[in-house]
Structure 1
Amino acid sequence: MAWNRRAAGLATAVLVSGALVALAPSGAQAATTQLCQMQSAPVAGGVYNVQNNEWGSGASECITTTGSAGFTIANSAINNATNGAPGGYPSIYQGCHWGTCTSGGLTATPVPVSSLTGGGKVTTSWSTSQPGTGAYDVAYDIWFNQTPTTTGQPNGTELMVWLNHNGPVQPFGSQVASNVSIGGRSYNVWEGSQGSFDTVSYTMTTGTTSVSGLDLGPLAQDAVSRGYTKSSWYLIDVEAGFELWQGGGGLATNSFGVNINGSAPAPASCSAAYSIPSSWSGGFQGQVTITDTGNSPVNGWTLTWTFPGSQQITSLWNGTFTQSGANVTVTNTPYDGTIQPGASVSVGFNANGSSGSPSSVTCK
């Protein structure tokens, strides 16, 4: 089999002229953006991009994102033959995809392959939900370029890492090795020439829904040793998503992250800012904005504060609260527990009593 695995370009969609559909929040649900066909949008403050890269099908297929480092395939009518090319690759990435780049990270500092050893120079974590219906893979798409930057398709190697798959689908090319131990995991290795570049795929022999701290160095060095990439080239893009041959609705990236520099992620930290958007006789509306002030994602947060008087919360959204006397504790909901570095989420509430503010709010 042979196919052009990626479209030559990807148009970046913006929230104007109906290019994206922003769904208004309902109750405690976060605002949702819908991306169809070849639309993309920055998430997590621009640290990552989410793209609905439907390059090999014209069937109806859309994804949604709440602006955090994740997305869900809302619907998919893709129905490609499983012995040919997939219809698309909805995904999230850090780096530069055909000249469309994220902020910081691999965009600011492309990593030479020569520095990708076994010391954790670049690691990545990814958590997914897999409904088990349809035909798809769950795969990283990692791109190397012969120079540090490119405005188009990378001219180095496409390195894929399959976490799992469903249905009778297989990587591009032919299997060249089996049960290869790399970085403490077992892979089968596939390779095929796309003409101007090679695609090498490492498929985990035991499927999984998530990885944590996956070190890209040993995989890159194995590709070098096999002659599929070169030490003088550069890692410029790390993508994670789902190649869709048939269906795929319900597949989701719950969280995604790329860590560069080879050091363990700094402990997550957060700050909280309390404000009163409105008040009335006998009551008020309060808000607390939680910001990730560290260099790694906050995965679950808790707020605590003490009201200065007899204020009593009557309703709260974007969190779960308990109150004992003047003491309040708020924890995250399943949809807003992950905050990327520099990003924020907000909790709002209505309360009885005067609108006096607590002396401080603690976030941990």
Structure 2
Amino acid sequence: MKRLLVRSHPPLGHRPLRHRLRTAAAAATAAAALLLPVTLAQPAHAATTTCEPQGTIAAGDYTIQANEWNSTTQQCISYNGGTGWSIDTANFNLTTSGAPATYPSIFKGCHWGDCTPNSGLPIQISKLGSATSSWNTTQVGSGAYDVAYDLWINSTPTTTGQPDGTEIMIWLNSRGGVQPFGGKTGTSSAAGHSWDVWTGNQTSWKIVSYVLQGGGTSFSGLDVKALIDDAVSRGSVNAAHYLIDAEAGFEVWQGGQGLATNSFSFAASTGGGNPGGDTQAPSAPGGVTVAGTTASTASLSWSPSSDNVGVTGYDVYRGTQLAGSVTGTSFTDSGLAASTAYTYTVKARDAAGNVSAASAPVTATTAAGGGTNPPPAGGCTATYKVSNDWGSGFTADVTVTSGSSAIHGWKVGWTYGGSQRITNAWNATVTQSGASVSAVNAAYNGALGASASTSFGFQGTGSGAVPALTCTAS
């Protein structure tokens, strides 16, 4: 999408960003009519600013993220106290027939493994009892942008990469002729408002967008669950999947300066379909210990948590970053730097989506590097798929799959037959020399078990046929 401070994201590869094609509308800008205005007093607070493309600002139980992924134009966002923030510097100038330049937003939950405290998420859709939100915005009369929620739903309770379930967008307003992904497939009166409904399928997830008819500048007590239920009834959301993240911000193609969130809240809880109405969280895992380290791994173990119904799994955090999820009471974190200290905590979760408090932290220090790489094992294959192509540019995804044995790292290469140029990438370090491209795993997704897969993606200019790939494992 905590303490009141600015921190930089990990490198872009650690935080995959949405990459969707928008098309231009034939005509008019939606009216910026005021809908159910919210007036919340904000405490005085000195603004905290970040101009980093992937900078974040912690704001209590929320995180504000710059999330500039498709432009090099400077963008600066400022925290204004409470949950208020603004775009103070921006002058984007992209065509609305392509992807937006940026999506600065505020979020609660787990956004690609970066989790906010006290979010109540994840919650399985079938056990979602309520989800409500209020959002008050300041919108500007120039440029091309949308004002939209972005709810992410995944097939499992946690993920550090692209969610594979559904992306639900709720458009409060837009201007400049921008439209949601896909096509208009219906209308809805869910949550007491009138919506145009757009649907479409990306490479590995579905998108459904609810566009407020007439537009507005604020919601008060929006029944988000009613919209999620509507998406389930349309077949766009699987009720067995999990709501993991709720964001609200501005996708900007042109302009952007002056857009602001004055206040924002999001709250979700279990109930309704939750058997027995289980709202009791498991106990915090105890006895977390460092079982061993190498130059690139740290192994942890802990005592099992208890729960009134039953514990279904554990989430392991490296600092605030989700390192992985397991069903047992041990975990090995890989892809680490040698001679480096890492702090870990563990949380337990149950079938109702209740999450425990964090365990006491432990610190693991990796061993000094030995100067040699692990021996090759198993080999790998890679497949290339274009997810969007608008003639002058494209986005693509590459899936890397290990062979019959585990691997410690991978490298994928290919040669373009045309003039394609890669402009940015996520989940891998991608370099290009002429027509030749090389992609090397990120620190966190190089180690794969037997017959396991990971993926990376990128955006480029030009268009053309899918190239042949080579994959080398180490």
Partner of 1:112: 124
1:40 aligns with 2:56: yes
Distance of aligned partners of 1:146 and 1:31 in 2 relative to their CA distance in 1, 3 Å threshold: same
User: How do residues 166-315 of structure 1 correspond to structure 2 at under 5 angstroms?
Assistant: 166-178=175-187, 180-261=188-269
Distance 2:263 2:14 in 1: 25
2:136 matched residue in structure 1: 127
How far the C-alpha of 1:199 sits from its partner, in A, is 1.2
Q: After the TM superposition, which of the residue ranges 28-37 and 51-60 deviates more from structure 2? A: 28-37
- The structure-2 alpha-carbon separation of the partners of 1:174 and 1:163, relative to structure 1 and needing over 3 Å to count, comes to same
Match of 1:111, as an amino acid? I
* Partner of residue 385, structure 2: none
Q: CA deviation at 1:200?
A: 0.9
User: Bigger relative contact order, structure 1 or 2, given CA contacts below 8 A and separation 6+?
Assistant: 1
Change (3 A) 1:202 1:186: same
Q: CA deviation at 1:223?
A: 1.1
Which residues of structure 2 form unaligned runs of 5+? 1-11, 17-42, 272-474
Q: Give CA-to-partner distance per residue, 1:256-290, whole Å, 9 cap, x none.
A: 11123379xxxxxxxxxxxxxxxxxxxxxxxxxxx
CA distance in 1, matches of 2:201, 2:55: 28
1:66 Cα deviation from its structure 2 partner: 3.0
Q: Give the length in aligned residue pairs.
A: 233
Q: 1:286-345 CA deviation, whole Å, 9 max, x = no partner?
A: xxxxxxxxxxxxxxxxxxxxxxxxxxxxxxxxxxxxxxxxxxxxxxxxxxxxxxxxxxxx
Correspondence for 1:83 among 97, 101, 105: 97
CA contact under 8 A between 2:127 and 2:270: conserved in structure 1? no
The TM-score normalised by the length of structure 2 is 0.47
Change (3 A) 1:190 1:8: farther
Q: Which of 44, 67, 83 in structure 2 is aligned with 1:53?
A: 67
Contact 2:80 2:86 in 1 (8 A): no
- CA distance in structure 2 between the partners assigned to 1:152 and 1:262 by the alignment: 25
The question of whether the paired residues in 2 share the 8 Å contact of 1:123 and 1:262 is answered with no
Question: Which residue of structure 2 aligns with residue 23 of structure 1?
Answer: none
1:99 paired to 2:101: no
Contact map agreement 1:95 1:105 (CA 8 A) in 2: yes
2: CA distance between counterparts of 1:205 and 1:212?
16
Counterpart CA distance in 2 for 1:237 and 1:255 is: 18
Counterpart secondary structure, 1:222: helix
| Alpha carbons 1:97, 1:153 under 8 Å: kept | no
Most deviating of 65-74 and 167-176: 65-74
1:29, CA displacement in angstroms?
6.6
Q: 1:155 aligns with which of 164, 187, 194?
A: 164
Q: Select between 121-130 and 148-157 the one with higher mean Cα deviation.
A: 148-157
Shift of 1:41: 1.8
- In the superposition, the TM-score normalised over structure 1's length comes to 0.61
- Are the aligned partners of 1:57 and 1:87 in contact in 2 as well (CA < 8 Å)? yes
- Cα deviations by residue, 1:126-169 (Å, 9 ceiling, x for unpaired): 00001221100000000001111112221110000000001110
Question: How many angstroms apart in 1 are the aligned matches of 2:208 and 2:14?
Answer: 21
Aligned to 1:31: 46
- Please say if residues 50 and 78 of structure 2, whose CA atoms lie closer than 8 Å, have aligned partners that are also in contact: yes
CA distance in 1, matches of 2:157, 2:238: 13
Please provide the CA RMSD for this pair. Answer: 1.9
Report if the CA contact (8 A) 1:42-1:67 is conserved.
no
- 1:143 is matched with which residue? 152
Deviation per CA, 1:99-128: give whole Å up to 9, x if none: 11101113xx31111133xx6x11111000
- Check conservation: 1:70, 1:92, Cα contact below 8 A: no
Opposite residue 56 of structure 1, the aligned amino acid is N
How far apart in 1 are the matches of 2:259 and 2:124?
33
Which residue pairs with 1:68 in the alignment?
Answer: 82
Change (3 A) 1:262 1:210: farther
How far apart, in 2, do the equivalents of 1:38 and 1:247 lie? 19
C-alpha offsets along residues 4-57 of structure 1, whole Å, 9 cap, x if unaligned?
Answer: xxx76439xxxxxxxxxxxxxxxx97322112211112112xx00000000111
Report the secondary structure of 2:153's partner residue: strand
3-state DSSP of counterpart to 2:96 = coil
Q: What is the distance in 2 between the residues matched to 1:29 and 1:191?
A: 41
Q: CA deviation at 1:67?
A: 4.3
Q: Is the 8 A contact 2:151 2:245 kept in 1?
A: yes
State the partner residue of 2:15.
10
Partner Cα separation in structure 1 for residue 163 and residue 197 of structure 2: 21
- Percent pairwise identity: 50
- What is the alpha-carbon distance in structure 1 between the residues aligned to residue 15 and residue 106 of structure 2? 13
The structure-2 alpha-carbon separation of the partners of 1:217 and 1:59, relative to structure 1 and needing over 3 Å to count, comes to same
Aligned partner of residue 66 in structure 2, secondary structure: strand
Matches within 5 A, 1:334-345: none
AA aligned to 2:67 is N
